């Protein structure tokens, strides 16, 4: 179980580095004392087994201290990233039902203490909706977290020596890095409190020489402009992985393995995985992780796993997939997000991948619902005719955007994924605001 593995490392690793952020490094002994102080504080407040406790911090060493302290107290943490918009944070806190909130100021005021590890049914609660609408709470048990982490150890074999943590604490990919690393005695490297701070990632890579990382594909594409050469295992997840990214990775980081992970929050971080090789189009999401089985019903992926935490033993994902003769799963988009253009159906990701295969385009996003508008991030202006010609060689003519808007960055949800609803709002006809590449 996760608590046992954490307790063992905190006892045995002593002065070995556990967590490093831009402000300070904590040893395992430090982490033991500080998380013990959190647990003792929660015990004084009468926090019971399984009770929700809000962790309201930046992506920092304090987030890790608080997470472990809450688990140590037998409670469950609700991570609320302090970098999120205030309205979003308020909604998450309100829907958590928590009566206790841990802030960085409070955490810094606690003196190190020893506290026993208490049992509890749950590990954490995450919210899965985007930046609009009502957040949906998903509560993950300790058993599910232990399964997910154990499957990671079984699949990847060698654990991280130093893990570059690039995910918001409110995004469940952070769970993979935190527990995979700390349960095996490695070091968590937090380059910045802003997950998309590429310059900070490059600086941290040079100073701390991380061996493993996990990030969304769009961020990794930017990082490959200044690769972190020490990495031996790179994982992309949270978005569709473009074939061009796989090719670029193998061109610039041929010594490192690239893995494409897929999994809903309701299935505890990950459910399938694939080690990527050049030339795959689309890039597979692979095979089920150890202990997970899948089925495909009317094209929709269904998952059965000890990691499933919502509504029974089988989780219907809402994702359309196919399985090839090679036994590999391939993702074809959301059941409810497919575009219908000129009488044919096409995935937004297919248009975006075709755009990003243009040598001048760094990132691309297509507005949903379809309005014939594509947004591109590029280092230099790109002629619209060049983009159209490039796409006409790769897509049906009806799927080629009629307007290209060059932007400095694409809008993202708090978890780092592309915010298509924001693109849709930006794509509404306002000719005076449109800037062609």
Secondary structure (H, E, C), the chain: CHHHHHHHHHHHCCCCEEEECCCCEEEHHHHHHHHHHHHHHHHHCCCCCCCEEEEEECCCHHHHHHHHHHHHCCCEEEEEECCCCHHHHHHHHHHHCCCEEEEHHHHHHCCCCCCCCCCCCEEEEEECCCCCCCCCEEEEEHHHHHHHHHHHHHHHCCCCCEEEECCCCCCCHHHHHHHHHHCCCCEEECCCCCCCCHHHHHHHHHHHCCCEEEECHHHHHHHCCCCCCCCCEEEECCCCCCHHHHHHHHHHCCCCEEEEEECCHHHCCCCEEEECCCCCCCCCCEEECCCCEEEEECCEEEEECCCCCCCCCEEEEEEEEEECCCCCEEEEEECCCCEEECCEEECHHHHHHHHHCCCCEEEEEECCCCCCEEEEEECCCCCHHHHHHHHHCCCCHHHCCCEEEECCCCCECCCCCECHHHHHHHCCCCHHHCCCC
List the pLDDT tens digit at each of the 437 positions of the chain. 899 999 999 999 999 999 999 999 999 999 999 999 999 999 999 999 999 999 999 999 999 999 999 999 999 999 999 988 787 788 889 999 999 999 999 999 999 999 999 999 999 999 885 433 456 899 999 999 999 999 999 999 999 999 999 999 998 999 999 999 999 999 999 999 998 899 999 999 999 999 999 998 989 999 999 999 999 999 999 888 999 999 999 999 999 999 999 999 999 999 999 999 999 999 999 999 999 999 999 999 999 999 999 778 899 998 999 999 999 999 988 786 667 676 566 778 889 988 999 999 999 999 877 788 999 999 889 988 999 999 988 887 778 898 999 999 999 876 677 888 788 888 765 433 333 33
Record the pTM.
0.83
């Amino acid at each position: 179980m996760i608590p046992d593995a954490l307790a063992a490392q905190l006892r045995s690793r002593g002065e070995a580095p556990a967590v490093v952020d831009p402000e300070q490094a904590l040893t395992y002994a430090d982490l033991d004392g500080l998380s013990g102080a959190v647990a003792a504080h929660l015990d004084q407040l009468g926090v019971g087994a399984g009770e929700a406790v809000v962790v309201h911090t930046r992506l920092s060493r304090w987030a890790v201290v608080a997470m472990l302290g809450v688990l140590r107290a037998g409670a469950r943490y609700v991570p609320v990233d302090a970098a999120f918009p205030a309205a979003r944070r308020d909604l998450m806190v309100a829907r958590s039902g928590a009566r206790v909130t841990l802030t960085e100021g409070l955490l810094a005021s606690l003196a190190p203490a020893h506290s026993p590890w208490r049992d509890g049914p749950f590990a954490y609660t995450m919210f899965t909706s985007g930046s609009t609408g009502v957040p949906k709470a998903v509560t993950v048990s300790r058993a599910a977290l232990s399964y997910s982490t154990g499957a990671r150890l079984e699949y990847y074999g060698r654990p991280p020596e130093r893990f570059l943590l690039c995910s918001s604490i409110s995004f469940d990919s952070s769970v993979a890095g935190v527990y995979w690393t700390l349960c095996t005695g490695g070091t968590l490297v937090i380059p910045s409190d802003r997950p998309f701070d590429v310059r900070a990632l490059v600086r941290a890579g040079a100073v701390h020489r991380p061996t493993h990382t996990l990030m969304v594909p769009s961020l990794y594409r930017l990082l490959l402009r200044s690769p972190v050469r020490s990495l031996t295992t790179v994982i992309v997840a949270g978005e569709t992985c473009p074939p061009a990214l796989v090719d670029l990775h193998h061109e610039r980081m041929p010594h490192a393995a690239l893995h494409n992970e897929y999994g809903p929050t309701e299935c505890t971080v990950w459910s399938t995985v694939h080690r990527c090789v050049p030339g795959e189009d689309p890039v597979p999401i692979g095979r089920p992780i150890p202990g997970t089985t899948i089925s495909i019903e009317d094209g929709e992926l269904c998952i059965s796993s000890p990691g499933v935490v919502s509504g029974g033993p089988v989780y219907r994902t809402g994702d359309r997939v196919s399985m090839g003769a090679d036994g590999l799963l391939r993702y074809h988009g959301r059941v409810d997000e497919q575009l219908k253009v000129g009488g044919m159906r096409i995935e937004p990701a297919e248009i975006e991948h075709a755009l990003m295969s243009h040598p001048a385009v760094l990132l691309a996003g297509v507005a949903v619902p379809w309005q014939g508008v594509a947004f591109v991030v590029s280092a230099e202006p790109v002629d619209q005719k060049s983009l159209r010609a490039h796409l006409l060689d790769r897509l049906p003519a009806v799927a080629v955007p009629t307007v290209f808007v060059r932007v400095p960055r694409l809008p993202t949800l708090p978890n780092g994924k592309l915010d298509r609803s924001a693109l849709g709002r930006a794509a509404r006809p306002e000719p005076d605001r449109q800037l062609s590449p």
